[in-house]
Amino acid sequence: MPARLSILSGVATGLALAGYLAASGAAMAQQVLKLHHDLPEDSAQHEGALKFEELVEARTNHAIDVQIYANNALGDDVEVAQQMQFGAVQAAPIPTAKLSNFAPSLQLIDLPFLFPDRNTAYSVLDGKVGQSILDDLSDAGFVGASFWESGFKQLTCDKAVTAPSDLQGVKARVMESPLLIAQFEEMGATAIPIAFSETYSALQQGVVDCQENPIVSILNMKFYEVQDYMMLSNHGYLGTAFIFSKVWFDTLDADTQQILLEAAKEAGDFQRARSAELEAGYLDRIREAGTTDIVTLTPEQLSVFADAMEPVHAAFADKIGPDLVAEAKAEVASLRSGQ
């Protein structure tokens, strides 16, 4: 072989080898991010997860491979949160009530009738109050990135409920949250914590008579099939904290961490918008099924419920943090007055 061709061949081989090694290095450097959530793929939450996947993979040039596990495929929310503490799962939007045993300040969001509407909830949670709550998750092994949502909770029951006295003696399914247990006990009900995935069968078999959840969950988990009445009460806001495993997050460089935090926030904004857009259609589908009567509570009836649940605010203020509760309520009052 002529010397010139031999040199060119050597250069080509060297370049090919360098390209192979670079590709192999990139592949080896790719990180898998397992993303859990608890709803089916037909939900705004899954759409938000897909948006997060799109943003992260594009902005990291696919150095992070986001793998979405919907509908509790990796376990229920509490089980996954425990897995996240040692890095087995990397990210998840989890209802704040289910994280309250890890960080008590999250119970603020579950205070009944705290938020009059979505925009007020967004303003409070996206500001100083919300950031303080997210920061509290650090000691439990999480990085709090943003707040997503399932929406306002409605009450379903095997009988019509139009006053707090109607709940006297009934058995109500709740998430495993001391505050939510107290909320129902304040009205004379027996609150029973039951896993989300087991709620349908518990209602069907009469283990419990009632439950509370946003419309998306009532539809997707088919609770309307085994409940005679659905009261549109908007009595509590179900926010979800989008969290990362801290032990995993801390291994990443600062630029990647920033990409993840920004993607969680942007995807959360998208998820909230889709949640609000889809809700009316969800309600129509429940109504069209014809298996449950939908009762719209009047402002006067809602006021009676709010008064009945108000003692929960005082009972949990010290656990949440009295200054945080006062700051949140002051901001809500300010927003209500239009200041």
Q: How many CB atoms lie within 10 A of CB 9?
A: 11
Residue 153 has pLDDT above 90, yes or no: yes
| pLDDT at residue 271, as a whole number | 98
Alpha-carbon distances, residue 71 vs 103, 127, 212 (angstroms): 24, 30, 19
Among 319, 264, 195, 314, which Cα is nearest to 54's? 264
d(CA 215, CA 231): 11
SS3 236: strand
- In sequence order, the 6+-apart residues with CB closer than 8 A to the CB of 291 are 224, 225
Q: How confident is the model at residue 29 (pLDDT cuts 50, 70, 90)?
A: low
Cβ proximity of 213 and 223 under 8 Å:
yes
Does 233 or 26 have the greater pLDDT score?
233
Residue 9 has pLDDT above 50, yes or no: no
Q: How confident is the model at residue 23 (pLDDT cuts 50, 70, 90)?
A: very low
Q: What's the mean pLDDT in 215-223?
A: 96
Among 153, 69, 143, which Cα is nearest to 110's? 153
Domains of the chain in sequence order: 3-331 (3.40.190.170)
Cβ proximity of 122 and 129 under 8 Å:
no
Among 89, 87, 94, 92, which Cα is nearest to 109's? 94
| pLDDT at residue 3, as a whole number | 42
Q: What's the mean pLDDT in 124-143?
A: 98
| pLDDT at residue 93, as a whole number | 98
| pLDDT at residue 339, as a whole number | 56
State percent of the chain over pLDDT 90.
90
Cβ proximity of 60 and 66 under 8 Å:
no
Q: What's the mean pLDDT in 56-63?
A: 98
pLDDT in tens, 256-311: 999 999 999 999 999 999 999 999 999 999 999 999 999 999 999 999 999 999 99
Q: What's the mean pLDDT in 189-193?
A: 98
Residue 35 has pLDDT above 90, yes or no: yes
Q: How confident is the model at residue 20 (pLDDT cuts 50, 70, 90)?
A: very low
State percent of the chain over pLDDT 70.
91
Residue 324 has pLDDT above 50, yes or no: yes
| pLDDT at residue 188, as a whole number | 97
Point out which residues pair with 157 in neighbouring strands. 210, 229
| pLDDT at residue 190, as a whole number | 98
| pLDDT at residue 337, as a whole number | 87
Q: How many CB atoms lie within 10 A of CB 68?
A: 17
Residue 4 has pLDDT above 80, yes or no: no
| pLDDT at residue 338, as a whole number | 80
Mean pLDDT, rounded, of the chain: 92
Residue 11 has pLDDT above 70, yes or no: no
Cβ proximity of 219 and 284 under 8 Å:
no
Q: Are strands 210-214 and 142-157 parallel, antiparallel or unpaired?
A: antiparallel
Q: How confident is the model at residue 26 (pLDDT cuts 50, 70, 90)?
A: very low
| pLDDT at residue 13, as a whole number | 40
Residue 28 has pLDDT above 60, yes or no: no
